[in-house]
């Protein structure tokens, strides 16, 4: 596959209450959601690896639809996302990320559950690696994957961010029983 021109990546700093993280999209959809309070370098380094040569352009207006839905989620008012994504990953990673999207809001699964869901029961470690490579935190809910024992395990955004997201969903689920 020959790429003649590199897609422009648009970015913005999403700020909501004490949440601060970078988000980025291509013309096709959301490509990156950063870690809580991480510097711009996190986005820059990721883009350099996944979209080498693509220009990074700050554009709050272009990112507004994404920021709106993520903010609604952080407010406990949104359980699913309607914004488009553009995944850049291997077939295996895509299978794992799609399986993550099937985990219902407010619920969790283990790494081995995900491995079973994609019919690769022996690939638990590879599933963990694919989850760690998820570029769109929150929107592809890798924070809903925990250890088999119920322990809060690694997360690209850090354990504190993962814990906060799980607590947010637990609170919103218990207050919004439908």
Residues tagged active-site = 142
Phi, psi values for residue 56, rounded to 5°: -105, 120
Q: What is the DSSP letter of 7?
A: P
Show the DSSP H helices in the chain as ranges: 40-50, 60-74, 91-101, 111-117, 124-132, 159-175
CB atoms within 10 A of CB 20: 14
Q: CB-based burial of residue 28 (10 Å sphere; 0-12 exposed, 13-18 middle, 19+ buried)?
A: exposed
- What is the Cα–Cα distance from 97 to 105, expressed in whole angstroms? 15
Phi, psi values for residue 32, rounded to 5°: -155, 135
- What is the Cα–Cα distance from 32 to 40, expressed in whole angstroms? 12
């Amino acid at each position: 596959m020959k790429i003649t021109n590199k897609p422009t990546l648009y970015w913005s700093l999403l700020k909501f209450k004490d949440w601060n993280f970078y988000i980025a999209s291509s013309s096709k959809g959301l490509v990156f959601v950063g870690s809580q309070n991480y510097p711009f370098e996190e986005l820059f380094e990721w883009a350099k690896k996944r979209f080498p040569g693509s220009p990074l352009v700050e554009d709050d207006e272009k990112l507004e639809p994404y920021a709106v839905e993520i903010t609604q989620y952080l407010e406990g008012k949104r359980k699913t996302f309607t914004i488009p994504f553009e995944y850049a990953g291997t077939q295996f990673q895509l299978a794992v990320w799609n399986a993550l999207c099937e985990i219902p809001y407010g619920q969790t699964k283990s790494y081995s559950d995900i491995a079973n869901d994609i019919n690769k029961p022996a690939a638990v470690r590879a599933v963990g690696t694919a989850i760690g490579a998820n570029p769109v935190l929150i929107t592809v809910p890798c924070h809903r994957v925990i250890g088999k024992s119920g322990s809060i395990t690694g997360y690209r955004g850090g354990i504190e961010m993962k814990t906060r997201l799980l607590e947010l969903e637990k609170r919103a689920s218990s207050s919004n029983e439908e």
